[in-house]
Amino acid sequence: MASQLAVNVMQKYATENRKAAPRDILDRGINLSSKEIYKESIGNAELAGMGTTIAALLFQEGVAYIGQVGDSRVYLVRGDEIWQVTEDHSLLNEEIRAGRIAAGQANNYQFRNVITRSVGYEDHVSVDIYRRKIQAGSTFFSARTALGPSRNE
């Protein structure tokens, strides 16, 4: 339910604000989604605590803008190379970045599925915004994962 609500709110916001700056569309749209999901969750005990992850892409004038919260990753593929564009908002990733555990220990990490940031758990969320130039042959795709570390290359 949270995911569908986020998609609906984002689509409506982006359509109504086409002339706004891409970063504003992503940040405000995701935060409006968070506010709506949060409102639904506090109004219905069965939905209490619901949230979702999001990776939203907006293409404008040869640039891909990516708004991301949680562990929904965005990858860029060009030729035979692949890069992870986004950084997971997970306890596992924070522990790896802080050097408290090694990437090789990720599969055995007890809290690897704990997300540290999500849309809707609170009425406001910090959104990471990424910008990548689009080149011929570029393909972007998104995948949700809580298994294994993030690696930006």
Q: What is the domain-level CATH number for residue 45?
A: 3.60.40.10
Domain that holds residue 99: 2-144
The pLDDT of residue 144 is: 62
Residue 153 lies in a domain: no
The string over 37-61, giving b where at least 16 C-beta atoms fall within 10 Å of a residue's C-beta and e elsewhere, is bbebbeeeeeeeebbbbbbbbbeee
Distance, CA of 118 to CA of 129 (rounded, Å): 15
Residue 149 — pLDDT band, cuts 50, 70, 90? very low
User: pTM of the prediction?
Assistant: 0.86
Residues 84-110: what's their mean pLDDT? 88
The CA radius of gyration of the chain, in Å to the nearest whole number, is 16
Residues 84-112: what's their mean pLDDT? 88
Please give the tally of structural domains in the chain. 1
pLDDT at 87 over 50: yes
